[in-house]
Amino acid sequence: MVIYKFMKWFREFGWRHLIGLIFAIISLYPILYVVTNSFADFANLSNSKLIPDGFTTKHYQSLTGDPLIPYYKWLFNTYKIAGIAGFLNVLLGTFAAFAFARLKFKGRRVGLITLVLVQMFPSFLAFVAIYLLFFQIGDVAPFIGLGTHIGLIFVYLGGSIGFNSWLIKGFMDTIPTSLDEAAKVDGATDFQIFYKIIAPLSRPIIVVLFVITFIGIYSDYILAAIFLKDANLYTVALGINIVFMDDFSNEWGSIAAASVIAATPIAVLFLFFQKQITGGLTAGSIKG
């Protein structure tokens, strides 16, 4: 009888828990492994294990003080680049979206379609041309050329501005036009309508797109790799890969600590905005 009951339970619920549990372990194990390893007292990868023998913060300490491994500089660079590029991206995107959503002009439809078409090609596809272009810009205006953060920020700006404009425009369309018509009657200019009404009401989508853009840039490798050659200017992705991975068995502890520090804020940010981000994702964009 007990067996029969168990079989019934298993047929209805049990197998679901079995599958659910297996994949929960698969999902969690590598993450836990890295977190425990970052505090574990071991020499290298070969004697690392999930439950460490001793507790130590030496791997975290190894990330400071060595001028050859300016880890926190990389972290700062990454936040700076992703922050500035993300901010300008949604700012300029919001401007453009406002025109497409609220102003009537010839070529509006064509412009919108062009935006989407252009953004179907990720900007890094043409990285050869971007490299050569900035190689030449470096001759003419060295402060924007290869090896500078400004140049990299410019490229990231172009990378998703079309898509962001499109999504923000879609959101603005849902704001009732009666609001700005009323304001117009009261003599408000376009800029005032934008600044006082439309932009504040669009804040939810703007914040989410900023987060998505920020995370995307934070995780980018290829464009940062063609731009940055000086170890002091690296982003986190470049720094960890180029400096640590050379000898990753012996550097395993540092890699684990560096990964935990680099991943935690992004993971928290992602989980915080999870619902909205997946909403945006199902609208077509994909996180890098």
* Smallest distance from other proteins to CB 234, Å: 12
Taking CB under 8 A as the rule, does residue 278 contact other proteins? yes
Instruction: Give the pair of three-digit tokens for residue 266.
Output: 């992004």
Question: In the complex with other proteins, which residue's Cβ is closer, 23 or 76?
Answer: 23
* CA distance linking residue 214 with residue 209, whole number of Å: 8
Cα dist. 257→180, 215, 240, 244, 283 in Å? 51, 20, 11, 12, 35
Q: 137 vs 82, 143, 160, 223, CA distance in Å?
A: 22, 9, 22, 16
Q: Which stretch binds other proteins (CB under 8 A): 65-73, 178-186, 203-211, 213-221?
A: 213-221
Nearest residue (CB) to other proteins, 157 versus 206: 157
**Listed residue (81, 98, 109, 88) closest to 223, CA to CA:** 81
Q: Is the CB of 22 or the CB of 182 nearer to other proteins?
A: 22
Which token pair is 168? 């923000």
Cβ-based burial of 203 (10 A; exposed 0-12, middle 13-18, buried ≥19)? exposed
Please report, as residue ranges, which positions from 173 to 212 form the binding site for other proteins (by CB under 8 A).
Answer: 190
CB atoms within 10 A of CB 157: 20
**Minimum separation from the CB atom of position 244 to other proteins (A):** 8
**10 contributes a contact to other proteins by CB under 8 A:** no
Residues in the chain: 288
Q: Which of 3, 68, 110, 286 binds other proteins (CB under 8 A)?
A: 286
Q: What is the DSSP string of 36-57?
A: HHHTB--SSGGG--SS-SSB--
Selected from 146, 198, 211, 240, the binder of other proteins by CB under 8 A is 240
Site track 51-90 with other proteins (rule: CB under 8 A), x = hit? ----------------------------------------
Among 52, 95, 250, 276, binds other proteins (CB under 8 A): 95
**Which residues ranging from 100 to 139 are in contact with other proteins (CB under 8 A)?**
100, 103, 105, 108, 111, 115, 117-133, 136-137, 139
Report residue 116 as tokens.
Answer: 């989407």
Using alpha carbons only, what angle is made at residue 32 by residues 31 and 34, rounded to the nearest 5 degrees? 70
237 contacts other proteins (rule: CB under 8 A): yes
Of 62-70, 178-186, 203-211, 261-269, the window that binds other proteins (rule: CB under 8 A) is: 261-269
Nearer to other proteins, 46 or 178 (CB): 46
